[in-house]
Structure 1
């Protein structure tokens, strides 16, 4: 009995993994990530189930809650040195680097706004819209691009149509769904330009929960190895990548001062390169 009392208690793995609940009407944005999260748990042999947080929350609040190990157990986000210092990243990019490929969302009345932009110097004359706490804002500003910030993701679309800024750079994984989700605003996708900077989006967990980080890492590695990761990714985003027509766009390269030293840039299987994307641009041949 004395031996039993002296032994430290075993910490049982939580049966649920809580993630940030989406705001009403924007649930579609999380469909791929939640499927990937479930795939990772399954590949790792975990019996844990996914559960949304009690309340919807903006990204910065979700990251703060995660840092304090309260309310959520996992958040997905673009990485930065500051975020990796506060939280525990699972350094397997969930987006294959494509959050760093940005196409402009524009009001329909200004759909030719970027037609004559051929350099960063040209783009310096226009204002971009971004979330005030997004890493993208700091990246654009570091490259000398004027930015108008907002504390609300949803308000950025209305600010764009109201002329508060000139263009809204969005990931080519996001932009098509965002246009479809905002029909009253009459938004269009710019056909001329794409911005690119190296970055990665990861699952982040609390530094108090390394067990979950290891579970997700193992599951993602196994999904990469057996091809199920890539199958899921292309099922969700293959058409968006073809629709972007990158071979017909001018590519402007930006520096990313926020990229952490530990970013696994040399692991070829974690990224889609420019060459990969240009190949996906080719029309599908019917079988």
Structure 2
């Protein structure tokens, strides 16, 4: 169970939601564990909402309103608190990234957002939003760069990324942009708590994952999986499906190049893009 902490309820909509949830729970004389049992979730889950460390969920907010006799109060606050500067389908996964102890990503087409250079992020954002104002593109790029702050904190997650060879062969943004991106990947691969591998074309028969995949584990919550396609994403919490995805990721990890061989490939390809 998350320990209560003093929050300024007017700091942002999420903090206000958390303060109101705590006020209503305490008025009903329920502990976080007791409310969680009635809402079919853990007490620590309730505590994360009250501490404003996790975005509120509309379905749970509806249940909280019913249990606490608060009409549609928490539902309305939830809609306000869920506003975000990332794509709505990715917003919950983005929140979980900040809480994860380990993040295992598989990328079949593009460099994962946590590993992108700003130039690379701008190139793919512009490609995905060809008619958007430049200001909107820059907002999306800034949001992606902000996500990367978790890698530079005092307690970063363990990050394991498997990139399909096709990711490195597509000169997104032009030769110089992809060259800088390759050098960035090589730099990140040398960090502690970070492993990067390339899955070569020749290994596709040994390990096949059809879409982007991220397996996230936590110290006090079950693992989750996030998958993403063009303009859509899905957060998977079903234990059997999470286990299936984790086993598929393990097969890809075993079939991929070693971290040392991956570093050699990244350096070689960067040089190729330097002298196309």
What range describes the TM-score normalised by the shorter chain of this pair? under 0.3
Counting strand residues as a fraction of each chain, which structure ranks higher?
1
If the length of structure 1 is used for normalisation, what is the TM-score? 0.25
If the length of structure 2 is used for normalisation, what is the TM-score? 0.26
Counting helix residues as a fraction of each chain, which structure ranks higher?
2
Which protein, 1 or 2, shows the higher relative CO under an 8 Å CA cutoff with sep ≥ 6? 1
